[in-house]
Structure 1
Amino acid sequence: MFFSLSKLVWLIAAPSTFLILLAAAGLLLGLRWRRFGMGLAALGVVGLLLAGFGPFGRMLLIPLEQRFPAYVEDGGRVDGIIVLGGTELARITAVRGQPSFHEAAERILAMGELARRYPQARVVFTGGGGNLRSGPLQEADVVRMALPQIGLPDGRVTFERLARNTAENAQLAKELVRPRPGEKWLLVTSAFHMPRAMGCFRAAGFPVTPYPVDFRTAGDRDFFRPFRSAASGLVFFDLAVHEWIGLAVYYLTGRIDTPLPGPQADHPSGGNPSR
């Protein structure tokens, strides 16, 4: 129920969609109530311009990307690597017959690089599908097809094929790998998504070390940088708002323990805090 409801609500709540609908509704209402309708239409248009050309998408995304620092090799043993799905284009893969990914494909590239760097580590990919309607392929199927391209044999990766969101990624991955106390597992996902992912793994009782990839900004230097095209700005704004709403909803529904999970000084591996 939670999964389906979240997908349906976002169809309208995505800022770019909501603002377009607001402008269209304003124009229609303006036929009957001119001042009120034109006010709504103007609000929608101004919102689209600000979100599209202004720096607000980057402003919202940078604090998420900066929340967990990039991983620094410490020379210690790595027992396992968890890679979260969400970058796979399963429908296009099924039609074209070759693995297709969107701009977060760094997750899969990192999986290949880390698997070679730590040959003794278990590698787990978790991801079933994030769409309301299941297609002919799951996220895991797309990644399996791509293994030869990143230089990994089929048996090197264990696939979890049922998870539909981040909370399920954490819970099902824990059930699959059954981590032992003291083991070090790296968690690979997009930098802006890492706070919510870490919160879910902590809530599931699975201590992991963050390995953020797929950075979308250059950090603080991009804070006031506007966009050259409205399309690019709206994509950033939608992405950032989606992640902040996700954090709020996950916190309010008990899927994470804090509104904005961050590093824990007394748990450098990102493990569970004492509660």
Structure 2
Amino acid sequence: MFFLLSKIGEFFVNPAHVAILLAASGVALLFTRFAKTGRTLAAAGIFALVVMSFSPLAIYLALPLENRFARPAPDSPAPDGIIVLGGAFDENISMARGGVAFNDAAERLTAAVELARRYPKARLLFTGGSAALRGSPYSEAQVAGRFFEQMGVDPARLILEDKSRNTFENAVFSRELAAPKPGERWLLVTSAMHMPRSVGIFRRVEFPAIPYPVAYRTRGYWTDISLHKNAADMLRLTDLATHEWVGLVAYRLSGKTDALFPAP
């Protein structure tokens, strides 16, 4: 039920969707006796779209998330395992085209390959089924297996988890498959913006992995206040950051994380 509600809720908490619906509702009301209300709603929707598209709002939403966790020091002890969260593939396009179709979180995979080469004794666990609301005949893990094979990763050290539909299930199923022993060190590779929620969830299921954030979308400083010309990118960043903030609240209220805003 949580998965179903979260997938439906994603549509309605998307800031761009809310702004567009406000503007569209306002325009529709212009042709009724509620024209005054319509003008207010239309103006509010358009104003919100302009702010999200051309102001640093998205950066201010994303920065606290991306700056929350740093990568471990280069001289840290070698890990026993590396966990890579799904979310970097389009499994349906990949399987239909017979290749590997990445999205804008592809650095999760390139970082995983680099770490696998740096730590040749570490196990590599990829976790990702399908997040499609109606399900899918394919899983991200299938595509990941193909990708890692192409990159020359030894299949003997690879663990593929293909049932999870969200981050909480990523953590639960990863712990079952990894069966971490006391004292083992596992790196957790995911997008920097997604890391706070991921860390909280892994701690909640008693699998305290070491954050290794990748796929940054900001430059990391608050003075980055210039107007941004690419409206589509800024709307996308606003959506992603809002998704994570709402996710932190929802997962905390449902008991799926150990803190509202997990700290290092």
TM-score by length of 1: 0.92
What does residue 217 of structure 1 align with?
A: 218
Mark the runs of 5 or more structure 2 residues left unpaired by the alignment.
Answer: none
What does residue 29 of structure 1 align with?
A: 29
What does residue 8 of structure 1 align with?
A: 8
3-state SS, counterpart of residue 221 of structure 2? helix
State whether residues 94 and 136 of structure 1, in contact with CA within 8 Å, keep that contact through their aligned partners in structure 2. no
Q: Deviations along 1:115-172, whole A, 9 cap, x unmatched? A: 1111111110111111112223201011111113323133331001111111111111
Identical pairs, percent: 46
State yes or no: 1:167 paired with 2:177.
Answer: no
Q: Deviations along 1:61-84, whole A, 9 cap, x unmatched? A: 011000001221234231111110
3-state SS, counterpart of residue 219 of structure 1? coil
Cα separation, 2, equivalents of 1:13 and 1:217: 22
Cα separation, 1, equivalents of 2:231 and 2:146: 35
Deviation of the 1:229 alpha carbon: 2.1
Mark the runs of 5 or more structure 1 residues left unpaired by the alignment.
Answer: 264-275
Cα separation, 1, equivalents of 2:178 and 2:99: 29
What does residue 119 of structure 1 align with?
A: 120
Shifted more, 110-119 versus 149-158: the winner is 149-158
Deviation of the 1:17 alpha carbon: 1.1
Q: How many pairs does the alignment contain?
A: 263
What does residue 88 of structure 1 align with?
A: 89
Report 1:1-275 matches (<5 A): 1-32=1-32, 33-220=34-221, 223-263=224-264
3-state SS, counterpart of residue 42 of structure 2? helix
State whether residues 82 and 123 of structure 1, in contact with CA within 8 Å, keep that contact through their aligned partners in structure 2. yes
Q: Which letter does structure 1 place at the counterpart of 2:195?
A: M
List 4+ stretches of structure 1 deviating above 6 A. none
State whether residues 56 and 225 of structure 2, in contact with CA within 8 Å, keep that contact through their aligned partners in structure 1. yes
3-state SS, counterpart of residue 59 of structure 1? helix
TM-score by length of 2: 0.96
State whether residues 80 and 186 of structure 1, in contact with CA within 8 Å, keep that contact through their aligned partners in structure 2. yes
Q: Which letter does structure 2 place at the counterpart of 1:13?
A: V
Distance 1:76 1:46, change over 3 A: same
Q: Deviations along 1:21-75, whole A, 9 cap, x unmatched? A: 1100111112111110110011000000001111111110011000001221234
Q: Deviations along 1:213-249, whole A, 9 cap, x unmatched? A: 1111110156423321221111111111001000010
Cα separation, 2, equivalents of 1:16 and 1:262: 29
What is the alpha-carbon root mean square deviation over aligned residues? 1.3
State whether residues 122 and 157 of structure 2, in contact with CA within 8 Å, keep that contact through their aligned partners in structure 1. no
Deviation of the 1:20 alpha carbon: 0.5
